[in-house]
Structure 1
Amino acid sequence: MRWFGFGFNAFGQICVHEKLIKGQCSDAVKVISPTELTLASHADRRGCRLKTDGQIRASWSRRASLHLDGDSCVCLAGFGALISNESCGISMKESRGCKDAYISELYLTLAFPDRIESWDLQTKEKSASWSMEVKTESSGPPMNLPLVPGGYIATKPPFYRSLSPHLKAKSLALSAEHAILLSASGAVYTWGLGSHGQLGHGDLTSEEEPRAVEALWGMPMSHVATGGWHSVCISDGGDLYVWGWNESGQLGLPSRGLRKALQQQSSQQAGAPCKDASTSPHEEPQEGEKHEDVFISIQAFPALLDITPSCEISTVSCGCRHTAAVTTTGDLYTWGWGDYGQLGHQTLMSSDEPQLVEFFREQQMRVVDVVCGAWNTFAAVVKEEVARS
């Protein structure tokens, strides 16, 4: 399995250019073509390649490469890692033996068989800023961060937050301000900030405690993910449901703001006079549009998103304002904000419609996993062995 990255690269999260090292990073900030990840940091040129079962975790300015085969460890790339492979307060040696990792902009959390550790990425302390002992039941399914026995690890102190055992949590996705939980029965629960409809309860109110998303009740889900102010989930049948903020088209639904921006950009490139940019995006549509275009800025209820041609979704991930989904046939579709090339279409265009990332199909690669950072995207691929029908 090989990992590729594209999008925001101001701190060398994807690849390191000499200009980044010298601080001249104007043309190294955006990686618009999928680029294979090799070194986890510039300083550690001895190897640290992602192996067969390696995993990626990403925040806005950093990437954590989790190596699971052999002597497992975590390597950091991005902010601070250009200076030393022991920057950000943690070295590869101190992470050896970890089984999972979770990274936010401020902290790196590591799961060991007997403990959980959180490291402060803003300091150079040589010890974890917080830790707790854990006892896992060997007979039960493995817990995946940020879930831990009895609760979950938050992105900031207090780190440990308890969860009701009645929820029977299977997986959990956290954004900076809201959370989405998948139970063992396939039910979805959300809580936190709700100002952009990201909780899926049909309103814009916040919730202090987990509340079931009633619109999805009775439809078992298999996967959940969360972005800045939007949420997504996949049903057992491979259908994709989206809700929350859609200002940049991150839900894959028609966005008036995005369409208008693209229209202005097209007019400028063509040399034609563009319309007044100060015109309200909520103005009445022109005659002929009224029954054709329905624009959505906030979707407070889960909406079924169709991807054409019809396909089943196996996994999905969200960035701050973009979304990426992998189909059961190994294709990658992306949509939303694309100003840093994070959609992988080798342009800086945004899109409010799911679009196939042609690069991997052209290279005869099958995408098997996807992880979004805030402004970039990482895709795991294998060589396509059977010709596509």
Structure 2
Amino acid sequence: MSRVRKVVLAYSGGLDTSVILKWLQDTYGCEVVTFTADIGQGEELAPARAKAKKLGVKEIYIEDLKEEFARDFVFPMFRANAVYEGEYLLGTSIARPLIAKRQIEIARKTRADAVAHGATGKGNDQVRFELGYYALAPDIRVIAPWREWDLTSREKLMAYAKKHGIPVEMRKKGGSPYSMDANLLHISYEGRMLEDPAKEPEESMWRWTVSPERAPNKPEYVKLEFRHGDCVAVNGRKLTPAQVLTTLNRLGAKHGIGRLDLVENRYVGMKSRGCYETPGGTILLKAHRAMESITLDREVAHIKDELMPRYASLIYNGYWFSPERRLLQELIDASQATVNGWVRLKLYKGNVIVVGRGSDTDSLFDPTIATFEEDRGAYNQADAAGFIRLNALRMRIAAKLKSRR
């Protein structure tokens, strides 16, 4: 196998990737370029730069990708109402293709011959990163330290860090910290007590949201405006996609919205328990479905709902850059041409309640037809008899056949 000269590492500055940085230098004797994506994780990124410098890294990339993340990845996903296994809003999954994309771009820019990531050999992220790499750079060399080294636990990682003088944040008495991932859409937690699916998460684990019990006793109303399926304003204020998520995160967190405790089926085959906080995304999904309820044709809406699980699985499993995901996206985006208008929501103690929706240009709701009052001939109720009899014909034929047996 050819020698690795230079590698671009997806680097967070946390325990895993800090150890990986040193391990790459020692194991491969190569130059390491670090890439840290600011996708709204809400952490100070200067320590990551300081750590990389301390370990002798000369090329350090720290880039603000929040708007690109929200505009080109999160919002297209929400146009599909994508939810994995009925509950998960794909906060970690949707971030990986953007990181992989930028990592490959930096590898080309710096003439690196390899890329590396900190995903474990048991998880989904290794698949997501590497499918992204290969889709964009088919011949790239990929280094996945978790599949090569003997540092097989977080305790061993921390011992390695201590030995090599690598500072580690968020130490907790009695064990290693939770494995966490945060971005503009969500924050996730794995490990520690969560490895027992029977145990309730400790309240101190949650970082973004108040508990519903401690949320305000008074509900708060919020109005979202949509244009072609994307939220473009909150409470009358025009916002960029990243600003929309930031605003909705603040509102949702205040009212205890968006907590999830989930045992999910990983792509690699095992079941895994994780906890998530997705306050803004939970609000956005509810509002988007309400907007579609009055602006989408019935059959278009039903086709979208049928395709959504497949679309969500493609994202969860790492196929963002696949031809089938791109094809589905074109269909989904075409359906959003008429998804324009506003939705009013009530936020109260963990709940997102739709209390109103409207569209001046694209509403298919016709009150003159739907009314329980006099409709002045807009709908002839007698027509329903023939409609029902025709739709019952196959069942009537089957019932008569059964009765003769």
**TM superposition score normalised by structure 2:** 0.26
- Whose helix proportion is higher, 1 or 2? 2
Greater fraction strand: 1
- Higher relative CO (CA 8 A, sep ≥ 6), structure 1 or 2? 2
